[in-house]
Amino acid sequence: MKSIFSILRLTGEDLKKIHTFNVGIRLLHTVDEKIEIPKRIQRGPTDILRALESTVKKDLTAAHYKYHDDPFLIPKSNVGKRTFAMAQESGRKAAHWIRAQHPELFQHQEADPPIAAYFPKIVYSKDEDITEDNLKAAIKEVLVTDAIEIYKLCKEKGVELSSEVLISFLELLCYNNGEDPPPEEFIEERWFRQSGRGREKKRKSWKDGAIAEEIFITIDNPGSIAYSALIQGMTKYYQVDRAWQLFQDSQEKGLILNIEVYNSIIRVSNIIKENYEVRWNFIIELLASINKAKLKPNLRTLNAVLESLSLMGISRNTKNLTLNTLTEFKKMGIEPSLASWYYVLNAFCKERGPVSWILEDIMVQIENKDHQIQDLVDTFFFLTAMDICRNHLQDKELAKRVNKLLHYGNNYDLIGDSYKESIY
């Protein structure tokens, strides 16, 4: 078979000319074209894994990954789930206990670079040189017990501490009530402890006369930061009377406290003022004080007001005040979170009150959206909404809409703790 070149009778010289012509044409085209290099897209270390994960559908019937994927070993009851999870974690706690009791057996450092979490726990004694830097390090690592021990040693040895360190120490003590929080590596303990706290009644657990109040007294002329830390700590652990007294003292001194102090006082207004009308007037006065201090309200301010309103009975006036509050905060550019809608449901859907279909209006606002947690109480919304669908409205279709929203995007992260998940 003859080739195309033999048919056209092209010589080698002719082929060179054709090639040169084609190259020239391509160069003319490239001169006119403008090459635009796209901007670099910032990607995290797990973005590729997340992209691959999105191609695999989630098995909603599968057990949690912490349980063995075996029909005979997967726990069926809530008690079984708790027992299995805590038993697994008890092994990790036993390993931590052995390391703490016998640190001499774990002096080798195989990791490079070294991992601080594997280091033996530092034991502070009177024989060592204790400085302010030791206290700073303990505060940074949220080691409450160690920080208290270091502070006592500094006090005994006469080590002078700056006011900045004392205020940071005070904030640590007030936030944790002078106790170590559960270690982050013990996830199951935190998970189940949180579920137990959710069912406990609100009661005073603040440690009166403890080291936090001692630190506050030792600070010369405590300013707004010190007052803010102590008031927020007391309201968090329901030492309400003392917190309100400190708030009044700060106002008499002309101190401008931060917005979170006002939010915390509003949240416990039902304890400070028992009568509904007096309580609402009290909240109005606090909001006026916020405006006078030229502070900007935030989402937690909205949720604090809504929480107080949700505890004011089933009167029509309470419902109107709830809707008006949402409107006023929206005018300020503050959009409600799932916690806000949770309080709205509590205000409208009372066990002994009339039937309210406010949940339908709420679903119009929030469905088909991927929600992010903005308040700890956000995790109460889905359980409460499903409970209202089942017991208050008895509406299956609305319940399906709530469940669809829960499984939309990453909204399942807002289901809450183990107790809420099992009840849901």
Each residue's pLDDT tens digit, 200-216: 557 888 999 999 999 99
Q: Give the pLDDT confidence of 81-102 residue by residue, as tens digits.
A: 888 888 888 998 898 889 888 8
Question: Token match 């006082």: residue?
Answer: 265
- Mean pLDDT score of the chain, rounded to an integer? 86
Question: Rounded to whole angstroms, how far apart are CA atoms 208 and 214?
Answer: 10
User: What does the pLDDT average to over 294-301?
Assistant: 96
| 126 vs 279, higher pLDDT | 279
DSSP labels for 377-410?
GGGGHHHHHHHIIIIII--HHHHHHHHHHHTSTT
> Which pLDDT does position 268 carry in this prediction?
95
User: What does the pLDDT average to over 222-244?
Assistant: 95
Using alpha carbons only, how large is the chain's radius of gyration in Å?
31
Helix axes 396-406, 358-366, angle to 10 degrees: 30
Q: Give the pLDDT confidence of 128-183 residue by residue, as tens digits.
A: 888 999 999 999 999 999 999 999 999 999 999 999 999 999 999 999 999 988 77
Verify cis geometry, omega within 30 degrees of 0, for the bond prior to 222. Answer: no
Model confidence at 283: pLDDT above 80: yes
Q: Give the pLDDT confidence of 337-383 residue by residue, as tens digits.
A: 999 999 999 999 988 888 999 999 999 999 999 999 999 999 999 99
Q: Give the pLDDT confidence of 33-85 residue by residue, as tens digits.
A: 678 888 888 888 899 998 998 898 877 677 777 787 788 888 888 788 888 88
> Which pLDDT does position 240 carry in this prediction?
95
> Which pLDDT does position 38 carry in this prediction?
85
Helix (H) or strand (E) holding 41: none
> Which pLDDT does position 62 carry in this prediction?
76
Question: Rounded to whole angstroms, how far apart are CA atoms 392 and 354?
Answer: 9
Question: Rounded to whole angstroms, how far apart are CA atoms 206 and 209?
Answer: 9
Percent of all residues in the chain with a pLDDT value above 90, rounded to a whole number: 55
Grade residue 23 by pLDDT with cuts at 50, 70 and 90.
low
Question: Token match 């006065």: residue?
Answer: 285
Q: Where are the alpha helices (DSSP H) in 177-223?
A: 187-199, 211-218
- For residues 171 and 147, is the Cβ–Cβ distance under 8 A? no
Question: Rounded to whole angstroms, how far apart are CA atoms 172 and 150?
Answer: 14
> Which pLDDT does position 67 carry in this prediction?
80
- For residues 318 and 279, is the Cβ–Cβ distance under 8 A? no
Model confidence at 272: pLDDT above 50: yes
Q: Which residues have CB under 8 Å from 252's CB, separation 6+?
A: none
Model confidence at 7: pLDDT above 90: no
DSSP labels for 126-176?
TTS---HHHHHHHHHTT-HHHHHHHHHHHHHHT----HHHHHHHHHHHHHH
> Which pLDDT does position 17 carry in this prediction?
58
Question: Rounded to whole angstroms, how far apart are CA atoms 250 and 257?
Answer: 8
> Which pLDDT does position 20 carry in this prediction?
61
> Which pLDDT does position 113 carry in this prediction?
86
Grade residue 4 by pLDDT with cuts at 50, 70 and 90.
very low
Question: What b/e sequence results for 206-215 when a residue is b if at least 16 CB atoms lie within 10 Å of its CB, and e otherwise?
Answer: bbeeebbbeb
Tokens read off for 266:
């509003």
By CB atoms closer than 10 A (0-12, 13-18, 19+), residue 240 is buried
Question: Rounded to whole angstroms, how far apart are CA atoms 389 and 401?
Answer: 10
